[in-house]
Chains A and B, each alone.
Chain A
Amino acid sequence: MNNIIFIFFRRMRLPLLSLVTVFSLTALGLTLIPGQDTDGNVWYMSYFHAFYFVGYMSTTIGFGEIPYPFTDAQRLWVMFSIYSTVIVWLYAIGTLLALIQDKTFQQALKELRFSRKIKHLRDPFYIVCGYGETGAALVNVLTERNQNVVVVDINPDVINFLKLENLRLFVPGLNGDAARPIHLIEAGLEHPLCQGVIAVTDNNDVNLKIAVTSKLLSPKLKVICRADSHEVEDNMSSFGTDYIIDPFDTFAIHLATAIQSPALNLLNPWLTGARYQTLDHPIYPPNQGRWIICGYGRFGKTVYQQLKNNSIKPIIIESSPETTGLPDSDISPDDWIKGWGTEAVTLNKAGITDAVGIIAGTDNDANNLSIIMTAKQMNPNLFVVARNNLEENKRLFDAIKADIVMHPSSIIANKIGGLLATPLLYAFMGLASHQTRDWTSELVKRVCLIVKEHVPEVWELVINNEEALAVFNKLAANEFVTIGHILGNPRKRDEQLFAMPLLLQRNGILTLLPDDAMSLQINDKLLLSGRLSARYKMEWTLLNRYALDYILYGETTTNNWLFNLIMGSR
């Protein structure tokens, strides 16, 4: 940045020098040449008048010959002066304007303004690199949860678009290459309040570079990366990237979960869904029979592996088997067919009529849509999984009514959003996936009872003097407060709030679905879910001493001196 300022002044040197020289020479000449006043006396122009005259002459304002009309000798000098000063003036102004409009200078100014904004940030923030579909969705999710974000993107249009976006919080955006460390530092990589870096550009190498830079310059930061291939994933994890998110892996695991345990699969969108989103209905992908996978790219491969793990043997349709390495793999040639999958012949060859499910997983949205439409005509009962590559085609995928639509951007955004806003939820989903089917069905039923049609609010609560002052004080005074107590309604203590605890973290030990009778301890971390109204009501109990007393003892105690006096005297 400083370079630019120096170059700016350096380039202004010559125009300014010529301006000063010509101006002073002209003024000098004017003071030396004798003039005449109105009475015909000899009159010498003073420097004051000379500079005044040169000032309006050079800028072509031209107020005329003041204070007295010039003599011919003066006019001769002025004739030369006019051209030289005007030229020098235009030269100086022209250079100045050119410099100000200079792209690098403008960029430098923008960066300066941006880093000043970052310096003044007073809340913890995350740096999001890449404001594409994923980045935009992620920024939306994070700002909705009151999490400050700073965006870096290489495309200037995208940054302008960010400014138009109607986000809850102010999000500073820098137009710069996140692969260059200087831009990450400008975005606040070394800022004490920076919480982490999220690399979701569409380029694996750039994501890798961001991860390396962040881990080297600020090792304590949480680094979350998007990676599309296993080699890059291994590379990233080798130097301690905290979370690596592969949209295809994530989705394949979703699909596998849906096949194994539909209830568990239902929980995920419920608990991570946006506020006021309606509850999804459970989906039951067939867990036996013939599945067809169209497209054996990165997506097809991971899905194939997951299906195989669930003892389903899918048929693969691939247009260019050689490039995807099909003939060399251990899949028998009977299990794959060369073709697009968009035409009836290939689908027939794959046995579409007696298949149970089809996965349209090519990287081309038009082909995926075409595959689904053809396949549905041939076998209307098919279970359809569609891969939606571009956000702009989302409407089409909604219209085609696929059973599951896989959208990489929203998968990543939801996952990272959940990870950052409610880390306990992430742990909860991990634990839940190891539970029995009955356990998950029971949980789904309980959640259903609490919330009616909208997805439940999920939030974290720490029992400390900031988030739960009243409870904290009681616990510090060695009194018992149970989970059941804080779930009580602070207006009617016999009633329970529409909320339930999902997870309790105490000294690093996680307890799944803690019992209501369990007593709380200071610094317990709770993951709760329930209605939004329940969350607000619970804050009363947590923070207000009298509300808590009412729930604990059934009466409000008071320490109001006057009130006690009146009550005592009665």
Chain B
Amino acid sequence: MNPEKVIFGFFIVLALTLNFGFFVGDIENPNHHDVYELFAVVVVNVIATILKFGDRTQMGAVLLATSLVAVLQLFAATIVWTFAVHILDIGLTPTVMASIVSLSGGALLANVISVVLLVIETVMLRR
């Protein structure tokens, strides 16, 4: 067992599960989407991305790409949140909430791909 693989897999799966947790719920209802959950999703995704740095394999490169996509989507979501709450002072209206959640939905898709790739790689691994 390679401990590095454990950490790797852990963070990729955690990124997906947290992302899913934030995503589920009424898309326009701010009560269904917690800011702490979004925070956790962003941090775990960034960690998962950094973990893929310096991986020379083809799979590593693809995983890095999908993680970068997820991080990009989540950053966009947080920026929308910050703008709505702090800069434009309009609060979490249904429109704002919908765009935040849909952005995180995109990140969720990227994370799903990451996990699928991880599963494929594991299945392909022969002893």
Contacts and interface: CB of A to CB of B under 8 A. Distances in A.
A378 B47 CA distance: 87
Most buried by B among A7, A20, A28: A20
Interface in B21-70: 35-36, 39, 43, 46-47, 50-51, 53-56
A17 B56 contact: no
Contacts of B85: 46, 48
Contact of A24 (B43, B78, B82): B43
A10 B54 contact: yes
Contacts of A13: 50-51, 53-54
A96 interface: no
Contacts of B46: 20
Contacts of A10: 53-54
Contacts of B56: 2, 6
Contacts of B127: none
- By secondary structure, the B interface counts as helix
Contact of A16 (B35, B43, B53, B86): B53
A56 interface: no
Given A6-B56, A48-B82, A48-B85, A20 B50 contact: yes
Interface in B62-96: 78, 82, 85-86
Contacts of B53: 9-10, 12-13, 16
Interface string A1-35: 01000111111110011001100100110010000
A17 B86 contact: no
Given A46-B85, A46-B86, A48-B86, A7 B43 contact: no
A68 interface: no
B39 A47 contact: yes
B51 A20 contact: no
A17 B50 contact: yes
Nearest to B35: A47
A20 B54 contact: no
Contacts of A16: 50, 53
Nearest to B64: A9
B43 A20 contact: yes
Contacts of B43: 20-21, 24
A50 to B, nearest CB: 9
Most buried by B among A2, A8, A47: A47
A21 B39 CA distance: 12
B50 A28 contact: no
Contact of B54 (A7, A27, A48): A7
Interface in A87-113: none
A9 to B, nearest CB: 4
Contacts of A12: 53-54
30 contacts: A6-B54, A7-B54, A8-B54, A9-B53, A9-B54, A10-B53, A10-B54, A11-B54, A12-B53, A13-B50, A13-B51, A13-B53, A13-B54, A16-B50, A16-B53, A17-B47, A17-B51, A20-B43, A20-B50, A21-B43, A24-B39, A31-B36, A31-B39, A46-B35, A46-B86, A47-B39, A47-B78, A47-B82, A48-B82, A48-B86
Question: What 4 A-B pairs come out closest when comparing CB atoms?
Answer: A10-B54, A9-B53, A9-B54, A24-B43
Given A7-B54, A12-B53, A24-B39, 20 more contacts: A6-B54, A6-B56, A8-B54, A9-B53, A10-B54, A13-B53, A13-B54, A17-B51, A20-B46, A20-B47, A20-B50, A21-B47, A24-B43, A27-B39, A31-B36, A47-B35, A47-B78, A47-B82, A48-B82, A48-B86
